[in-house]
Amino acid sequence: MTREREKLQYTSLEDKHHNRAVEPVKGEQNTAYWDVKALLNEQGEGETINVHVQETSLDSRAKKESAAREAALADLQAAAACLRQGKTVAFPTETVYGLGADARSTEAVEAVFAAKGRPSDNPLIVHIAHRDQLHELVTEVNAAAEALMAAFWPGPLTLVLPVRPGAVSPRVTAGLDTVAVRMPDHPVALPLIAAAACPVAAPSANRSGRPSPTLAAHVREDLDGRIGGIVDGGPTGVGVESTVVQAGDDGTVTILRPGGITAEQLSAVAARVATDPALLAEGSGGDSASPAPRSPGMKYTHYAPAGALCVVEGPPAAVAAWTRAALAEAAQRGERTAVLAFAEHAEQYRADAVFSLGNASELQEAARRLYAALRSCDEQGATYIVAEACSREGLGAAVMNRLLKAAGNQLIQVD
């Protein structure tokens, strides 16, 4: 047994109390790093060749590209071998980077909890590369769940299904009789999971409580020295995590966590779409008497920057006026200020750091930029941060959910 492994086992043995955060391991592992961005290049694309000289240079470029792809594929095999050996490997998905481990191995899954410092009552999502892998994991897939998978897999949708006893480590499901499963839509994640030849449990690859990583550099910041390796596949696309749903036998699809697939998209496929009542209580003056969320992860404060963050909602002009005044007052108190604003307003704010979330009418950009902006607030040492609210329609439901979590539910309504 390696020293790192001993250390991890020791740490997990300490976690006798259910619900208690597992003590994070000290940074003692040698974290491997594989750059596989060459796999993202479209193969066989190139301009039409009609001059001999160009042909030669294109030919050598094509050779270089194909050699880079070969090297990246070999790296992917090395990363898959790590997963098979029970190590933890961070990898890109279309939503955020995940920290993967063989879902069947309790030791491997415990290493994930330990590296993240994640509370042990928060279950993990299991990632698969093929539909064939699903029946090994779950006992039943009803018609509503089938329809969702047909419409949105591979993609940012996670389904909570009845777990097949013994299929995954009980640490993955945190003792629940269900397992959350997703098939990511990513040219690195899918071949990696397929090559690992096991179901891959993967929470977001951040230290617990920190914003989820949308770049390999974010994973390094949080987990270097604590995990087996990092597969760098460049920036993720969606930027917020998958939507977690449960599909009832009556055809009702309940959103347990808003994410990359919107309620509107689900409505096009499902008979009825509902939202977990615990989520609706958030950001509407919901208090501690709110019901417990059915997705255990939703009860934790997440993504929170070190500074105090509040979210301001209301008519755009009122939001801008309140924000300008609040930033000025905070600066007077000697705070280091930051603001997360939509492009329409970003230029008019005076703060130590101004982050644009893109246009308020194109929330894909806000989703893509949100976590990096929250991380930058910490880098800039911001102590007082204001974020403009966005519409809660479409992807806005996920963006507002994450913003409010980051703000510890500090929502200011102005009119």
* φ, ψ dihedrals at 412, nearest 5°: -110, 120
> What does 307 bind: ligand TXA, Mg ion, none (CB cut-off 5 to 8 Å by kind)?
none
Task: Give least dist CB 401 to ligand TXA, A.
Answer: 11
Other beta carbons within 10 angstroms of residue 175's beta carbon come to 10
Say which entry of ligand TXA, Mg ion, none residue 101 contacts (CB below 5 to 8 A, set by partner kind).
Answer: none
* The pair of three-digit structure tokens given for residue 190, joined into one six-digit string: 């899918």
Closer by beta carbon to Mg ion, 204 or else 356 = 204
* Least distance from ligand TXA to the Cβ atom of residue 217, Å: 16
Can you list the alpha helix ranges (DSSP code H) found in 256-362? 263-267, 277-280, 316-332, 343-346
Nearer to ligand TXA, 158 or 383 (CB): 158
Nearer to ligand TXA, 244 or 397 (CB): 244
Q: Give the span between the Cα atoms of 24 and 115, in whole angstroms.
A: 5
Report the nearest approach of ligand TXA to the CB of residue 324 (Å): 35
CA within 13 Å, CB half, 228: 25
DSSP 364-385: HHHHHHHHHHHHHHHHTT-SEE
User: With CB under 5 A as the contact rule, which of the stretches 101-109, 200-208, 276-284, 399-407 interacts with Mg ion?
Assistant: 200-208
Residues 6+ apart with CB under 8 A from 15: 22, 23, 113, 120
For Mg ion, how many residues bind (rule: CB under 5 A)?
Answer: 1
Q: Which is nearer to ligand TXA, 98 or 228 (CB)?
A: 98
Chain residue whose CB lies nearest Mg ion: 204
Q: How far is the CB of 371 from Mg ion (least distance, A)?
A: 10
- Pairwise CA distance, residues 347 & 341, whole Å: 9
User: For the residues of 111-156, what is the DSSP string, one character each?
Assistant: HHHHHHT-BTTSPPEEE-SSGGGHHHHBS---HHHHHHHHHH-SSS
What's the rounded Cα separation, in Å, for the pair 134 and 119? 26
Min dist CB 152 to ligand TXA, Å, is 13
Q: Which does 117 bind (CB under 5 to 8 A by kind): ligand TXA, Mg ion, none?
A: none
Q: Which amino acid is at 180?
A: A
- The least CB distance from residue 283 to ligand TXA, in Å, is 17
Contacts 24+ apart (CB under 8 A), 37-45: 37/72, 37/232, 37/233, 37/234, 38/65, 38/68, 38/69, 38/71, 38/72, 39/69, 39/72, 39/73, 39/76, 39/187, 39/188, 39/191, 39/233, 40/187, 40/188, 40/233, 40/234, 41/65, 41/69, 43/69
Distance, CA of 323 to CA of 314 (rounded, Å): 11
In angstroms, give the least distance from the CB of 98 to Mg ion. Answer: 9
The contact mask relative to Mg ion for 201-230 (x = CB under 5 A, - = no) is ---x--------------------------
CB of 151 to Mg ion, least distance (A): 24
For residue 350, give the H/E element and its range.
Answer: none
As measured in angstroms, the least distance from the Cβ of 212 to ligand TXA is: 7
Residue closer to Mg ion (CB basis): 204 or 214:
204
Contact positions vs ligand TXA (CB under 6 A): 93, 95-96, 98, 122-125, 156, 158, 160, 173, 176, 178-180, 182, 184, 202-204, 241-242, 244, 256-257, 294-298
Binding partner at 242 among ligand TXA, Mg ion, none, C-beta below 5 to 8 Å by kind: ligand TXA
The listed partner (Mg ion, ligand TXA, none) that binds 123, CB under 5 to 8 Å by sort, is ligand TXA
How many Å apart are CA 337 and CA 386, to the nearest integer?
A: 8
- Residue 286 site contact among Mg ion, ligand TXA, none (CB < 5 to 8 Å, cut-off depends on kind): none
Residues in Cβ contact with 186 at an 8 Å cutoff, skipping those fewer than 6 apart: 92, 93, 94, 154, 233, 236
The residue number whose beta carbon is nearest to ligand TXA equals 297
Compare residues 120 and 204 and give the one whose CB is closer to Mg ion.
204
Q: Decide which of ligand TXA, Mg ion, none touches 256; Cβ closer than 5 to 8 Å per partner kind.
A: ligand TXA
DSSP-derived letter for residue 18 is T
Nearer to ligand TXA by Cβ, of 184 and 307: the residue is 184
Least distance in Å: CB of 203 to Mg ion?
Answer: 5
Indicate whether 242 belongs to the interface with Mg ion (CB under 5 A): no
Q: State whether residue 415 is helix, strand or coil.
A: coil
Indicate the residue among 228 and 345 with the shorter CB distance to ligand TXA: 228
Q: Rule CB under 5 A: which residues touch Mg ion?
A: 204
